[in-house]
Amino acid sequence: TGHHWGYGKEDGPSAWHRQYPVAKGNRQSPIDIIPNEARRDSTLGPIFLKYDQCRSLNIANNGHSVVVEFDDSDDRSVVLGGPLDNPYRLKQFHFHWGGKGCEGSEHTVAGVGYASELHVVHWNAVKYKTYNDAAAAPDGLAVLGIFLELGDDHRWLHMITDALYTVKFKGSATDFKGFNPKCLLPSSLHYWTYLGSLTTPPLHESVTWIVLKEPIVVSEKQLGMFRMLQFNGEEEDQRMRMENNFRPPQNLKERIVRSSN
């Protein structure tokens, strides 16, 4: 598809600003979260995930990540509460991960990364007509960030990893019905929140970030299965393993990170 950004030497995060000048903007993501500098805000209520009626549609390789998409034609599944003024509709979730080793998350905590990060993307269908309109508006998206750390097998992640062989190449997609992302969440929904951006081009400054403090645990074997995906399409001769698809932390600038507890 039309864009030519990526995660390589030539087309990676340090080059994105040439085509997307907002890369150097005032509310870019991800950031390094320094817990001691986050402002505890007692007015921040808990977040609620109403995913019981969610309807997953398919799983796809978009050439940057593996994405599970949902029916977002009504308010059947939403996130609400916390910093949000109204419910935001579930649209998709996807992952960012590293190569060998334990970096791979986009957000970091006191300078330390996790092996991977899950992003659950929601949009403001109360204020905007389409996802694309919302994705370009300052209060258009709410993304829930969840850290993945290495340890034992995750009980439900196999539902995703079992499907990866069907979406090995960019542009491939397959049916993926009946998956509720609630099974991928940690037990505590305590969070940090701040105003930021998409972490990939077009890097729109449209995201209310809600980053959960508690990571989920996945095994090295499970994460390794994500690295069997490829950035390239099936017909391309250059084979590029999909790994290190994360943007490093950006400047906090004038922003404050708030803490739910």
**Any long-range contacts for 35-42 (C-beta under 8 Å, 24+ apart)?**
35/109, 35/110, 35/192, 35/259, 36/110, 37/257, 38/192, 38/256, 38/257, 38/258, 38/259, 39/256, 39/257, 39/258, 39/259, 40/258, 40/259, 40/261, 41/258, 41/259, 41/260
Of residues 1-30, those binding ligand B30 (CB under 6 A): 3
Q: Which stretch binds Zn ion (CB under 5 A): 34-42, 47-55, 84-92, 114-122?
A: 114-122
Q: Does 199 interact with ligand B30 (rule: CB under 6 A)?
A: yes
Q: How many residues bind Zn ion (CB under 5 A)?
A: 1
In the complex with Zn ion, the residue whose CB is nearer, 119 or 154, is 119
Q: Does 119 interact with Zn ion (rule: CB under 5 A)?
A: yes
Q: Does 198 interact with ligand B30 (rule: CB under 6 A)?
A: yes
Q: Please state the closest distance from residue 216 (CB atom) to ligand B30, in A.
A: 17
Strands 39-40 and 258-259 turn out to be: parallel
Q: Does 122 interact with Zn ion (rule: CB under 5 A)?
A: no
3-state helix, strand, coil in the chain (%, to 5): 15, 30, 55
Q: Please state the closest distance from residue 260 (CB atom) to ligand B30, in A.
A: 20
* Residues 30-69: x where in contact with Zn ion by CB under 5 A, - otherwise, as a string: ----------------------------------------
In the complex with Zn ion, the residue whose CB is nearer, 3 or 36, is 3
Residue type, 247: R
Other CB atoms within 10 A of residue 4 CB: 10
User: How far, in Å, CA of 125 to CA of 134, rounded?
Assistant: 8
Q: Does 202 interact with ligand B30 (rule: CB under 6 A)?
A: yes
Q: Please state the closest distance from residue 118 (CB atom) to ligand B30, in A.
A: 10
Q: Which stretch binds ligand B30 (CB under 6 A): 76-84, 163-171, 195-203, 218-226?
A: 195-203
Q: Please state the closest distance from residue 243 (CB atom) to ligand B30, in A.
A: 16
Q: Are 64 and 181 in contact (CB under 8 A)?
A: no
Question: Pick the catalytic residue: 17, 64, 96, 107?
Answer: 64
Of residues 140-179, those binding ligand B30 (CB under 6 A): 143
User: How far, in Å, CA of 189 to CA of 194, rounded?
Assistant: 16
Residue nearest to Zn ion (CB): 119
Strands 191-196 and 207-212 turn out to be: antiparallel
For this structure, is 64 an active site residue? yes
Q: Does 62 interact with ligand B30 (rule: CB under 6 A)?
A: yes
Q: Are 107 and 141 in contact (CB under 8 A)?
A: no
Q: How many residues bind ligand B30 (CB under 6 A)?
A: 12
Q: Is 207 helix (H, G, I), strand (E, B) or coil?
A: strand
Q: Tokens standing for 110?
A: 């006191």
User: How far, in Å, CA of 20 to CA of 64, rounded?
Assistant: 17
The site for Zn ion (CB under 5 A) is made up of 119
The site for ligand B30 (CB under 6 A) is made up of 3, 62, 64, 119, 121, 135, 143, 198-202
The residues that are catalytic are 64
